[in-house]
Amino acid sequence: MKTTAPVSRRGGRWTPWLYLTPALVVLAALLAYPIYQLGLISLLEYTQAQVSGGETATFEGFANYTELFGDQQFWSVLLATVVFATLCVTGTLTVGCSLAVLLTRIRTLPRLALMMAALGAWATPAITGSTVWMFLFDADFGPVNKLLGLDDYSWTYGRYSAFFLVFLEIVWCSFPFVMVTMYAGIRAIPGEVLEAASLDGASAVRTWRSIMAPMLRPILIVVTIQSIIWDFKVFTQIYVMTDGGGIAGQNLVLNVYAYQKAFSSSQYSLGSAIGVVMLVILLGVTLVYLRLLRRRGEEL
């Protein structure tokens, strides 16, 4: 195998950089710079007075962080975010992987039906998915309450039932990604390998442990990490379904909390500090991901 692409031998050392310029300019201006700004604002005293009053922002050091970490609500929101994201990831992976296995055991027609249904859920924009699930579980007019015989039961009133409703919507719209990729992964395992295993008298459990699991591990890592990242920064569903974080903020997660702090109570610095905390946590997840990629020894 050649390791060098033919183009690079034909001179043009600057060609890749030329191709990269538009992407790098856009990313530097609209991603890197805002991240820098986010960090900066989190270190300043930045409220309505600075935004519209033209007052100069004063440097506060880590005062905002001290305030944030001293706030009981921050810790409860952080805990809720971690627990909720964990449950969503677990639910999504369980449903997605089981259905991927199910898909390999059935004939074309039912498989197509399940695939199309999943594709529909996947394509649904988060915002319309949220409104539809709200309607399904509506206290007065929803078919679910009718079916379960719950008269006038409001799912968004209690903290846990509201979280549960959002959980259902999130699993519904995120399991298709897991299912489709895992199914593609299982299908990519050569049939001869499985046949050879069964000829050698390997049990189903043994086949799974020694052949399928190791071959599926890389894909499983990717879908797990992706799910963690998506569910940890969930915004739309919580914002729409619990009307901005639920009664008295009982359904807040970090991302919505940061937004509310900044735009509802004009505490831009505190909102930014929460954003920085999220960035740091997600960076940690990314580092784990990179380590796992590296361990597989594959080149990027």
Which residues 55-114 are close enough to bind other proteins by CB under 8 A?
99, 102-107, 110-111, 113-114
List the interface residues with other proteins, window 133-152 (CB under 8 A).
Answer: 133, 135-136, 138, 140-143, 146
Stated as kind and residue range, the H or E segment containing 299 is: none
- Could you tell me if residue 297 is left (phi over 0), alpha (psi between -120 and 50 degrees) or otherwise beta? left
Please say which residue, 82 or 114, places its beta carbon nearer to other proteins.
114
Region binding other proteins by CB under 8 A among candidate stretches 15-23, 61-69, 74-82, 153-161? 15-23
Other C-beta atoms lying within 10 Å of the C-beta of residue 242: 24
Q: How many amino acids of this chain bind other proteins (CB under 8 A)?
A: 104
Region binding other proteins by CB under 8 A among candidate stretches 23-31, 60-68, 74-82, 153-161? 23-31
Region binding other proteins by CB under 8 A among candidate stretches 72-80, 85-93, 154-162, 231-239? 231-239
Could you tell me if 178 and 92 are in contact, meaning their C-beta atoms sit under 8 angstroms apart? yes
CA 120/CA 173 separation, integer angstroms: 9
List the interface residues with other proteins, window 248-267 (CB under 8 A).
Answer: 255, 258-259, 262-263
Single residue of 63, 82, 87, 121 touching other proteins by CB under 8 A: 121
Single residue of 47, 154, 181, 250 touching other proteins by CB under 8 A: 181
* Least Å from the CB of residue 151 to other proteins: 9
CA 211/CA 155 separation, integer angstroms: 44
Token pair for 245: 């974080």
Token pair for 46: 């930045």
* Least Å from the CB of residue 94 to other proteins: 13
CA 232/CA 234 separation, integer angstroms: 6
Single residue of 79, 83, 132, 247 touching other proteins by CB under 8 A: 132
Please say which residue, 147 or 248, places its beta carbon nearer to other proteins.
147
What is the sign of the dihedral through the CA atoms of 138, 144, 146 and 149? negative
List the interface residues with other proteins, window 151-170 (CB under 8 A).
Answer: none
**Binding flag, residue 214, other proteins (CB under 8 A):** no
* Least Å from the CB of residue 71 to other proteins: 18
Could you tell me if 66 and 281 are in contact, meaning their C-beta atoms sit under 8 angstroms apart? no
Single residue of 44, 68, 78, 118 touching other proteins by CB under 8 A: 118
DSSP secondary structure, 141-159, as one string: T-HHHHHHT-TT--TTTSH
Please say which residue, 27 or 49, places its beta carbon nearer to other proteins.
27
Q: Which residue has the tokens 């409860």?
A: 76
Token pair for 185: 């992964």
**Binding flag, residue 283, other proteins (CB under 8 A):** yes
* Least Å from the CB of residue 84 to other proteins: 15
CA 61/CA 166 separation, integer angstroms: 37
* Least Å from the CB of residue 62 to other proteins: 18
* Cβ partners under 8 Å of residue 265, min gap 6: none
> Residue 122's closest CA among 189, 60, 172, 57?
172
**Binding flag, residue 295, other proteins (CB under 8 A):** no
**Binding flag, residue 288, other proteins (CB under 8 A):** no
Q: Produce one character per residue of 59-73: b if its CB has 16 or more CB atoms within 10 Å, e if not.
A: ebeeebbeebeeeee
**Binding flag, residue 190, other proteins (CB under 8 A):** no
Please say which residue, 37 or 66, places its beta carbon nearer to other proteins.
37
